[in-house]
Every structure is written in structure tokens, then in C-alpha cells.
Amino acid sequence: MSKPIRSALISVYYKDKLDLIVRELHKNNVTIYSTGGTLQFIESLGVPVVAVDALTGFPEILGGRVKTLHPKVFGGILARRDNPSDVEQLKQHDIPEIDLVIVDLYPFEETVKSTQNEQEIIEKIDIGGIALIRATAKNFKDTLIVASRNQYEELLALLQTKNGGSDLEDRKVFAAKAFMTSSHYDTLIFNYFNKELALPVFKQSILDAKTLRYGENPHQKGTFYGDLSEVFEILAGKELSYNNLVDVEASINLAAEFTEPTFAIMKHTNSCGLASRPAISEAYAAALACDPTSAFGGVLAANRTIDVATAKEVNNLFFEVLTAPDYEPEALQILMQKKNRILLKLKKDNKPAKMFKSLLNGVLEQDVDTISDKKESFKVATEKSPTEKELSDLEFAIVAVKHLKSNGIAIVKDKQLIGMGCGQTSRVDSLESALKKAKAFGFDTKGSVMASEAFFPFPDCVNISHEAGITAISQPGGSIKDQDSINAANANGQAMVMTGVRHFKH
């Protein structure tokens, strides 16, 4: 049964489209109470409004920090209309019932993003607004709460379709959304304070949600929580799928590690093609040559603007997604010839500092692996030192293997991933897989380098790599049998460096 709204309290920070609601309430003869800037806004519309301090008999104090925190406000909100004692107390203290509360919260999140001034940030912690939201939502049987400007249109439609009233189901839905708003706000505040304290508690809140066609497989439901528009602009193509998003992140993260023009081709988060060249078109050609079979249906990423020359070559490949910092207009037209291709324009490196994974009955949290091993930090472990060319290729190979599933092996020659093995249960299997791929696509591994994301427990991989003509090796070290691998490299005349940093990826 619809319950008429006879009185409303409105106190908001954002006033966009509020005028439509105020006029609708006025049309329905609703008594409106308000404060501060909202009061002035309603008065400017020529709509009658009662100041909250006139209701309470107490002025706003402490520079506006205390406005609505008063029994005459909260009594009118929290009173149970079916409770004779509550109703009697309202009469005794001359407290009017309040049927609708429209309130939003100070922009704490936006303030944190725009300034580091602690006092400014603290002043944007809303007190009265949160209290109003919780009180009204708690008493949803009798009162309706609108806790966000994003619900203004929904409220207006409700008022117009239900003759200025609401039913219990409506109020319960709005209450749930209100608690969602307040819990999100409190999480943001806690995480701000917890940056320095680092209290061991997992609190994350994301309001933006996008339902995907399905999850990893068609029988699984999938949802993305977050605002993708902060990361890239979708220029063309179908909607991104769950698997697309996983591969897009992997491709963006990999391409972003390089300063030279680089092209990456991903399949199931592993790179099947990766190369750096003086021009992005050359980088694409070299990346495609790594494994043109696996590149079919892949996810592509470049760290330079896609020019016409590159677009013409990429256009010959069937691929799911291409991400780049920009596209030349003509290049974009070429790539848009096939309507289902997803073309993304990367906005900025928006990589979070932490990553999470649901596991068993909880969540794992860890720092994102941001370490990029450079030749300056390499420790030469063998009698022979790498040449400058080998050092350059080793840097490239370490980045490549860092982004492969463990156990991972990357074989690189002239800044091109000519062989890769990943996700194997033994490092020997990964190396043999990498060598098999290199041979299958016509690469000569003589004079190439090899990187492993973890240490060699035995010298077997060193000896196999020597037989293939690999001249320099990178590994983190850390095995109690490191010396066995070093001895093997020395016997083979190979150079070996140790980075001291493991890059497991599961």
C-alpha cells in the first residue's frame, strides 16, 4: 500500500536536477525542511521551505559542522508510526513526522584525489549526512531515504507514478542503496586513515559495476567492478568479455614495461609475441613472427601510436582487442573496417599498488610486482661476462619471463621473444617447449639469451640451453645448488647473471 509523503528534509551538496524534485514535492503540498545552501536553493525556486533551525530552535554551529543533529530532526525520522508510545512522544515534544529525507555526502573521495591537504580532507568527512542516512534507512517502514544524487531520477519517477507516495518495497530498496552508500563512504575514510597505520584488515568498496556477457565460461556469471573509462576509451567493437579484460590487463602491463617502441601479442595472459624495434610497425612484424599461429584471436597492445603502416599490417590478422596510447585517424578507419574488433585508447597507467585474489574462504592481498631488473643491478656469477648486446637482450628477456605463468622460460634474440615456455610443472619442460617453438617458427637460437623467473635447482636447463647455442643466462639465484648451475655455465663458456629477484606468477 502506498504511503503518502507529507514532509521532507532536504540537505544536499550537489543540487543538479534537484529543482525537479522540489517542484514535484511542492505540487503535492509536501512540507519541506532544509539547511544552508540547500535552503537558499529552494527559496530561489520560489518554493516554501522551513529552516531546520526554526524547527529545532537551535542555530547551525561550529561553522556548519552541526546542523541537523537534534532530537526534533531525528525524532521525526526514527519514530515508529505504529508504536503508540513513539507517536505520543512526538506530540509531547512537538516533533513533526518526516516522511522523506534527501541527503548526499560531502565529496570525501573527490577531495582525497584533488589535494593532500589533511585539514581540507578531514572537513569533507560528513557527520550529519551519514547520521541522517542511517536513521532514515533504519526506519524504512515509515520513511524514505534518498542518499545520492544518482537516485534523483528514480525518486522523481516514483513520486510521479505513485501520486507523491511510496510503498514498503520501494522504501526497503532505497534503504538498501542508502546503506550501500554509507558503507562505501566509511570504507573510503577508513582506507585513508589506514594508509599509514596499515591495520591488518581487508576493506574495499567499488560502486561501479558492469555485468558481463558471462564469466570465464558461458555457464559462469561475470561482473566487473570498477570504472574502465579511467583506464581507456573504447573506440570501436563489441563489449569486452571477462577473458578480454583479463588479457587486456596482461597486455597493457607488459607493453608498459618498455621504453622503446614495443608490441605485445597475448593469449590467455601469456605473450606469444613480443618485440621492440625503432618503429612500431617493425615491432608488430617482429612480434607476429614469434608465433603467428597463436597470434590468431589474440589480444594486442602497443606502447606507441598506431600509424597507418602498422594498421595495414595488423588489419590482416584476426584479433580480439588492440590497445594503444593513440591512433592516427586513417589508421583507425582501417582497423574499424571489421566491426567486432575492440579498439581501446589507453588513457594512463592506472595500475593499483595492491592486487587481490579470492581464495578458499578469504582473500589474498599482495603488492603488485613493479620491480624491473636492470643490467646495472645484475650480478655476474660466471667467469665470462655478458656482452653489451647480451645484457640488452637479458633485460628484455627478464621482462618477458616476468609476465609468463610459472614455470617460465623466455628465449630472446635482438629484442624479440623467439621462444617461450610457461605454465609447466618443471622448468626443463618449459625450456624444451620454448626451444620447440623457436624451431617451429624458423628461429636460430645460436647467440640468443635465456631468462628464468626463478632459480635453477639443477644444472640441467643450463646444459640444455648450451646445446641450443644460448650464450647468456639470467636467473634470480637463491638455490642451495646455485654453484652447480654456475659451474655448468663456466664449463660451457656461457655467461650467467643473477638478479636476486624472483618473479613467480601463478
| Residues noted as catalytic | 138, 268
Under a CB-based contact definition with an 8 Å cutoff, are residues 206 and 183 in contact?
A: no
Contacts of 260 (CB under 8 A, 6+ apart): 276, 277, 278, 415
- HEC readout, 451-493: EECCCCCCCHHHHHHHHCCCCEEEECCCCCCHHHHHHHHHHHC
What three-state secondary structure class fits 314?
A: helix
User: Which residue's C-alpha cell is 592516427?
Assistant: 328
Q: Which of 390, 451, 372 is nearest to 419 (CA)?
A: 451
The residues, ordered by sequence, that sit 6+ positions from 384 with a Cβ below 8 Å of its Cβ are 489, 490, 493, 494, 495
Can you give the C-alpha Rg of the chain in angstroms? 31
Following CA atoms 487, 490, 494, 500 in sequence, which dihedral angle do they give, to the nearest 10 degrees? 50
Distance of CA 335 to the CA centre of its chain: 27
End-to-end CA distance of the chain: 55
Please, which residues bridge with residue 323 across strands?
301, 344
Alpha carbon 312 to its chain's center = 32
Rounded to whole angstroms, the Cα distance separating 343 from 345 reads 7
| DSSP-assigned letter for residue 149 | G
Looking at residue 283, its amino acid is: A
- Distance separating alpha carbons of residues 108 and 15, to the nearest angstrom: 17
Maximum separation of any 2 CA atoms in the chain, in Å: 97
How far are the Cα atoms of 100, 233, 254 from residue 343, in angstroms, in the given order?
Answer: 46, 8, 18
- 3-state SS assignment for residue 200: coil
Q: Which three cell numbers stand for residue 7?
A: 514532509
> Rounded distance, CA 37 to CA 23, Å?
17
